[in-house]
Structure 1
Amino acid sequence: MILATTKFEDLDRFLKVFSTKGAAKRREHGSKGATVFRDPIDEDRVWVVFDWDAEGWQDFVSDPDVPGIFQEAGHVVKPQPAPLVGQYDA
């Protein structure tokens, strides 16, 4: 699982590209799905939980097609993964 955040210019534009071209490219790199949350404090930010491993994420962000997809989606900053600091039962 990967948790990542990014900022965008327009939510509808972001989601349109994220759910189409972005999804196809993520799938190529082993992503099994994503759940998108809008930040409750910053309306121009989303948090995304990916069903993905670290190697697949790294391959995705290194893919030469990805910067163009990010640009088309209106990213204002490059998506950043949140570091995992622990896992606990319950």
Structure 2
Amino acid sequence: MAKDHGKSVKRDDVYEALREDGASKEKAARIANAQASDDQEPSVKGGKAPPYEEWTKDDLYARAQELDVDGRSDMSKDQLIEALRDR
């Protein structure tokens, strides 16, 4: 039986499985809550955005700023890509 993670996590079983696979608490909660919503389909591929490798460093930095990635100002393009994918 999955542990109750409170009102902020809608699918405790999914959350725990993602955490065991190494996902951050924030990422696991986002996915678990999306799977619990009838309006979202997290298993379906999203929009048509190009892969991060095709973004400019300035665009990557702006996205990292939107997501409040710590240390973004000192990161290279590859580090920004890695940080964004870890979010």
Of Structure 1 and Structure 2, the greater helix share is in: 2
Higher strand proportion: 1
Do they fold alike, i.e. is TM over 0.5?
no
What is the TM-score when the length of structure 1 is the normalising length? 0.23
Give the TM-score taking structure 2 as reference length.
Answer: 0.24
Highest RCO, 1 vs 2 (Cα 8 Å, sep ≥ 6): 1
